[in-house]
């Protein structure tokens, strides 16, 4: 490969550009009108306009992207994650027009992209699946009957897509019809497909995924697990590896299941097999993401392997650079997703211009971002600004580095979740690795960040003004300083 078009934007586009430069491969960015001066557009060797701000007219516009690829004379297209990255029709069109698609085949995407079909295949090849229903009958009467057979609590889940859209928890049979209607409406809006499946709802499970990689020569390996249980509205916000609850025996069993799943479809490229781990140690196949994951940096940190480089090499027909016995892990890595959102307004996405931007640095600190000072956060795209990754010899070190890095991170001009992330990392259950997918609901219900009122109160307290302190603290919630994991220590 001599030149690659990146059919994406933001931090993942910049991440791919970095590896391409290291490999001596030319890069072509695509950008919507609002993104023409964005970091990824400026960083690539060349950039092509693909439409206005709305994603359907730009980053989801296959015609415009393919026209840019032809005009630039590229050899391959890397889809990143999101947008068209798991679109089988796009993958097929790329290859039909003579380009290399850096990802799995469209046939594999179609199978593993459907939660219905993929679970049927997994059941056949012996990978454990959550008890439930994933049949073709989608009328209310049939689904109600199947739901009652599965039992409650029960999860309704859109067969296509992810990110928590089209997903509803049902606690009683009487609520099923209304929750089904909501799930189907969300699925139609998000994916154009209102097909759903039903699953037993696991209480306090952990969400654990395995990174897998295959080549066109029949080789398949895994690169260990990632713990992804810290989620808000089914959206991951903190990931880490290794999982705090993983044992060698459990890792071996889950890794074997992940490899079996990938072998079942002759998987080529980077993929992630996701599982739900129950409190009794049993685990069940959830889905397979046929692309690079947002959280791939933590795997890179503990293995020393550039996953984007492997994607490019495998797509170019080469064998995997390492076999399973050659892949080792060391230390612990944590990733926190930084969003432009207001935690005090139910995490509503924020827009505006970043007036000041200073990111942390240091040994074991990595930042993958797509924004800088002076950039505008628009209404058109996902509000994720960056990913902060820290590495330590053990989990405690990685947590301490994360806490300090979050304190150092400075973003002004838009509200962010930096404070929220800091509070999670400081919370005792998180520090002890004691959590499940319900962690945030249990530990941060109705979360509100400390207000200016509280900050003023603490300042007045330091000045010794008891009366003013009491007045300023009226109605404020004061965190226990001994629960805070911050960059200070008691001196003897």
146 vs 197: CA distance, rounded Å: 10
Query: Where would I find the beta strands (DSSP E) of 381-437?
Result: 384-392, 410-412
Secondary structure of residue 294 in the 3-state scheme: coil
Secondary structure of residue 135 in the 3-state scheme: coil
**Residue 226 annotated among the catalytic residues of the structure:** no
User: Do β-strands 46-49 and 26-31 pair in parallel, antiparallel, or remain unpaired?
Assistant: parallel
Query: Exposed (0-12), middle (13-18) or buried (19+): which is 476, by Cβ within 10 Å?
Result: middle
154 vs 194: CA distance, rounded Å: 18
Q: Which helix (H) or strand (E) holds 176?
A: helix 176-191
- Specify the DSSP class assigned to residue 160: S
Alpha-carbon distances, residue 193 vs 87, 157, 159, 253, 420 (angstroms): 14, 12, 8, 34, 34
Query: What's the token pair of residue 110?
Result: 């179609």
Give the alpha-carbon dihedral of 276, 278, 279, 280, to 10 degrees. -140
Alpha-carbon distances, residue 236 vs 40, 46, 326, 428 (angstroms): 24, 33, 30, 20
129 vs 220: CA distance, rounded Å: 22
Residue that the structure tokens 């097909």 belong to: 195
Q: How many other β-carbons are positioned within 10 Å of the β-carbon of residue 356?
A: 10
70 vs 412: CA distance, rounded Å: 40
Backbone conformation region of residue 377, classed left if phi is above 0, alpha if psi is from -120 to 50, else beta: beta
Q: For residue 153, is the peptide bond before it cis, meaning its omega torsion is within 30 degrees of 0?
A: yes
R_g of the chain computed on alpha carbons: 23
409 vs 487: CA distance, rounded Å: 13
102 vs 76: CA distance, rounded Å: 7
Nearest to 75, CA basis, from 153, 169, 17, 1: 1
Nearest to 115, CA basis, from 212, 182, 229, 199: 199
Of the listed 291, 337, 366, 395, which one is catalytic? 291
- Specify the DSSP class assigned to residue 333: E
161 vs 83: CA distance, rounded Å: 11
Nearest to 120, CA basis, from 261, 305, 317, 295: 261
Give the active site residues.
291
């Amino acid at each position: 490969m001599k030149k690659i078009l990146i059919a994406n934007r933001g931090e993942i586009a910049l991440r791919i550009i970095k590896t391409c430069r290291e490999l001596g491969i030319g890069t072509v960015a695509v950008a919507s009108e609002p993104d023409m001066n964005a970091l990824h557009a400026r960083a690539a060797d060349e950039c092509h306009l693909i439409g206005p701000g709305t994603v359907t007219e730009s980053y989801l516009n296959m015609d415009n992207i393919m026209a840019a690829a032809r005009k630039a004379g590229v050899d391959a297209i890397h889809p990143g994650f999101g947008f068209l990255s798991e679109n089988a029709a796009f993958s097929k069109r790329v290859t039909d027009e003579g380009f290399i698609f850096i990802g799995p085949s469209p046939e594999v995407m179609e199978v593993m992209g459907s939660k219905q079909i993929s679970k049927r295949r997994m059941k056949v090849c012996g990978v454990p699946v959550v008890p439930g229903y994933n049949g073709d009958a989608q009328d209310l009467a049939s689904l109600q009957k199947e739901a009652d057979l599965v039992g409650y609590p029960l999860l309704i889940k859109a067969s296509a897509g992810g990110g928590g859209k089209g997903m509803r928890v049902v606690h009683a049979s009487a609520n099923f019809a209304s929750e089904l209607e909501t799930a189907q409406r969300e699925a139609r809006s998000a994916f154009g497909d209102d097909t759903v499946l039903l699953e037993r709802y696991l209480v306090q499970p952990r969400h654990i995924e395995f990174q897998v990689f295959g080549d066109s020569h029949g080789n398949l390996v895994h690169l260990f697990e990632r713990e992804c249980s810290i989620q808000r509205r089914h959206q991951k916000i903190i990931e880490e590896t290794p999982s705090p609850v993983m044992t060698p025996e459990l890792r071996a069993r889950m890794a074997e299941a992940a490899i079996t799943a990938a072998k079942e479809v002759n998987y080529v490229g980077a993929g992630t097999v996701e599982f739900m781990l129950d409190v009794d140690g049993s685990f069940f196949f959830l889905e397979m993401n046929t692309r690079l994951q947002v959280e791939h940096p933590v795997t890179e940190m503990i293995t020393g392997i550039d996953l984007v480089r492997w994607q490019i090499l495998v797509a170019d027909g080469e064998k995997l650079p390492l076999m399973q016995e050659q892949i080792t892990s060391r230390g612990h890595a944590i990733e926190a997703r930084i969003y432009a959102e207001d935690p005090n307004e139910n995490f509503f996405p924020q827009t505006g211009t970043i007036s000041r931007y200073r990111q942390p640095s240091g040994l074991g600190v990595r930042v993958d971002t797509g924004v800088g000072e002076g950039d505008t956060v628009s209404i058109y795209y996902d509000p994720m600004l960056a990913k902060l990754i820290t590495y330590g010899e053990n989990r405690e070190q990685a947590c301490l580095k994360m806490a300090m890095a979050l304190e150092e991170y400075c973003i002004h001009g838009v509200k962010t979740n930096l404070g929220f992330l800091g509070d999670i990392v400081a919370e005792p259950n998180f520090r002890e690795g004691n959590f499940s997918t319900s962690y945030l609901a249990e530990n941060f219900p109705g979360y509100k960040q400390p207000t200016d009122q509280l900050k003023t109160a603490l300042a007045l307290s330091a000045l010794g003004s008891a009366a003013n302190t009491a007045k300023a603290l009226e109605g404020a919630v004061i965190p226990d300083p001994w629960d805070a994991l911050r960059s200070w220590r008691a001196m003897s």
